[in-house]
Amino acid sequence: MSILFVLLTYLVIISVNYFWFQTPKGIPIAPRPSVRPPAPVMSKEHGFSIPKDYAFHPGHTWVAREDVEDVRVGMDGFAADMVGKIDRIDVVGATRWVRQGQKLMTLHVDGVSLDLVSPVEGVVMAVNQDVLKDPALALRDPYKDGWIARLKSPDYKTNEKNLMQKSMVAPWMHYTQTRLSTELAAANPALAQDGGVPVNGLLQRVQPELRQKLITDFFLN
């Protein structure tokens, strides 16, 4: 008798939970709102705006830690300036394992494709849907709302040894800018503005041969 009573009680609890918590038909469950990343603390060094605690890959992508293993990644300001505009961004699918330096995304601009690499190794946990819908967001706000993907990177401590970080960032940015200006001056002095700062959307303004050289030299394609 006691066993029967326990079974009946169990069935009553299950029935109550089912009818109480069941979502009515035809009413979709609202998706959980995505958590917007905090605005980075920016500093000005050697004329460059640098987000604090971000680390940079030589292929011009960045990574910021969110937790012990969770990181957020995106393209840096140099890449945004070089591209100038983006028609579409393709990102490798969620749950995909990417290695440090392996292609993470492809930018499509006026029929030209440009691959950007992952700054760290890990599993793609989420892709920023806002930036897929509005690729220009990655150019307007590359270090905050224009992030590209979230990764789980269990070997981040090892990966970060291959990245530019802290006091290394500003000298690296300066070297990259100087190197680009030198290449442009050798190819066509009119492509560089006063002070050696390249024009925005440079990759759309150069001949295909020079464009491919710049993509190879600066984005490791």
DSSP 3-state of 217:
helix
Structural Rg of the chain based on CA atoms = 23
The answer, yes or no, to whether residue 126 has pLDDT greater than 80, is yes
Q: How many beta carbons lie within 10 A of that of residue 88, not counting itself?
A: 11
Q: How confident is the model at residue 23 (pLDDT cuts 50, 70, 90)?
A: very low
Burial label for 89, CB within 10 Å (0-12, 13-18, 19+), is buried
Which residue reads 């006691």 in tokens? 2
**Which pLDDT score, from 0 to 100, does residue 195 have?**
52
Q: Which domain holds residue 59?
A: 49-221
C-alpha to C-alpha distance for 139 and 41, rounded to whole angstroms: 18
- Asked whether residue 42 is assigned to any structural domain, the reply reads no
**Which pLDDT score, from 0 to 100, does residue 6 have?**
37
Using one digit for the tens of pLDDT, what is the confidence trace for 25-69? 333 333 334 567 888 999 998 888 999 999 999 999 999 999 999
| Closest among 143, 127, 134, 132 to 80, alpha carbons compared | 143
Q: What is the CATH number of the domain that holds 205?
A: 2.40.50.100
**Which pLDDT score, from 0 to 100, does residue 36 have?**
76
Q: pTM to 2 decimals?
A: 0.81
Compute the average pLDDT of residues 135-152.
Answer: 97
Among 75-79, 110-114, 129-133, the range scoring the smallest mean pLDDT is 110-114
Task: Please say whether the dihedral angle defined by the alpha carbons of residues 148, 77, 179 and 156, taken in this order, is positive or negative.
Answer: negative
Q: Give 12 or 117, the one with higher predicted confidence.
A: 117
Total number of domains constituting the chain: 1
What type of residue is 35?
Answer: V
Using one digit for the tens of pLDDT, what is the confidence trace for 164-197? 999 999 999 999 999 999 999 888 777 655 455 5
- Asked whether residue 118 is assigned to any structural domain, the reply reads yes
- Asked whether residue 28 is assigned to any structural domain, the reply reads no
- Asked whether residue 22 is assigned to any structural domain, the reply reads no
**Which pLDDT score, from 0 to 100, does residue 196 have?**
53
**Which pLDDT score, from 0 to 100, does residue 197 have?**
58
- Asked whether residue 25 is assigned to any structural domain, the reply reads no
User: Residues 124-152, buried b or exposed e (16+ Cβ, 10 A)?
Assistant: bbebbeebeeebebbbeebbbbbbbbbbb
